[in-house]
Structures are given as C-alpha cells and as structure tokens.
Amino acid sequence: MLDHIYRQLVVDHAKNRRNHRCIDGEDVVQLHYKNPTCGDVMTLYMKLSDKGLIEDISFIGEGCSISMASASIMTDLLKGIYVKEASTLRQAMEKLIRIGEKPSDCDLGDAIALEGVHKLRARHNCALMGWQAFDRVLGIVENNRNEEKQ
Ligand code: ZN
C-alpha cells in the first residue's frame, strides 16, 4: 500500500514538475548536466544570496520518471533554505539512495518516496542526478567568489 502511494508521488512529480522553468538574471548560475547511465539531461538554475540563501532554484529537463521526479522534489526542498541546510539534505539523500538509510537528523519530505530506488542500483544516478548537478552549481558559485576576491 505504501509502495503504491510512493509510486503515485513519484509519478505526480515527474508529470507535474515543480519549478520546471528557466531563471533569468546576471546573478543566476546555470549548469547543464547529463546522467550517462540513463541519458537523462537537465539544466539547473540557481539564484543564491550573498548570505548563502537559495532564493530561487529551478530546472529544465528530459529523462526518466525517477530523475525528473527527484529533480522536481529537490527544487521544492531547496528553495528558500540556506546552503548549509541544503548540504545536510544532500548527504541524507546520498545515504537514502546508496545505502537505503532513512535520515534521522533532517526531513527529506517527498524525497522519501524515492527510497525504493536503493534496490535498483542501475537507477541510483537517476535519483541523484539533480543533487549531483546541485553540487556542481555550488562549485561554480565558490569559484566565482574566489575569483572576485583576487
Ligand atoms: Zn534515468
């Protein structure tokens, strides 16, 4: 029964993707990312304040239900929180998918619906694609800031 509800949640996010749009602006970091395992593609957009608040985050993508649902859920989770909190969620998500461990120190919200992906090793990267793109976007932000300092 629970499996059924979970599946519906994933299908809903994959069909009605949250934050599925571009964000324009000079201060928006964007990154194109590809999951070689399954051919899923996405562009992630993020607007970060100087204090590390994720003011806006969105994506445009094409791919399997798991990847699109996961990216949709991720943008919902990350919008309006600080990068520090986002890192906690990022690590919790990695554990949920790679080792099937539910987080005790944070709330992954709808992302818990992807728990079953743990058993599907070939799909791990689908469920983590959005989050891997997020890592890279943070890397770009850090690089940009270091360049500004020099
Ligand atoms: Zn996929």
Q: Average of pLDDT values for 108-112?
A: 96
Q: For residues 56 and 22, is the Cβ–Cβ distance under 8 A?
A: no
pLDDT tops 70 at residue 2: no
In a domain, 138, yes or no: yes
In a domain, 50, yes or no: yes
| CA–CA dist 19, 21 (Å, integer) | 6
Query: What CATH number corresponds to the domain at position 67?
Result: 3.90.1010.10
Distance 57 CA to ligand 1 centre (A): 21
Distance 63 CA to ligand 1 centre (A): 6
Domain count, the chain: 1
In a domain, 148, yes or no: no
pTM: 0.95
Q: Average of pLDDT values for 120-127?
A: 96
Residue 88 structural domain: 2-143
| CA–CA dist 56, 79 (Å, integer) | 6
In a domain, 134, yes or no: yes
Q: Mean pLDDT in the chain? A: 95
Q: Please report the pLDDT score of residue 3 as a whole number.
A: 79
Distance 97 CA to ligand 1 centre (A): 14
Q: Please report the pLDDT score of residue 17 as a whole number.
A: 98
- Using pLDDT thresholds of 50, 70 and 90, give the confidence band for residue 78: very high
For the ranges 34-38, 53-57, 58-62, which has the lowest average pLDDT? 34-38
CB contact burial 113-142 (16+ within 10 A = b; e otherwise): bbbbbbeeeebbbbbbbbbebbeebbeeee
Percent of the chain clearing pLDDT 70 (strictly above): 99
Q: Average of pLDDT values for 35-58?
A: 96
Q: Please report the pLDDT score of residue 111 as a whole number.
A: 97
Q: Please report the pLDDT score of residue 106 as a whole number.
A: 94
In a domain, 150, yes or no: no
Distance 21 CA to ligand 1 centre (A): 20
Q: Average of pLDDT values for 12-38?
A: 96
Distance 10 CA to ligand 1 centre (A): 13
In a domain, 12, yes or no: yes
In a domain, 27, yes or no: yes
Q: For residues 18 and 76, is the Cβ–Cβ distance under 8 A?
A: yes
Distance 62 CA to ligand 1 centre (A): 9
pLDDT tops 80 at residue 28: yes
Distance 144 CA to ligand 1 centre (A): 30
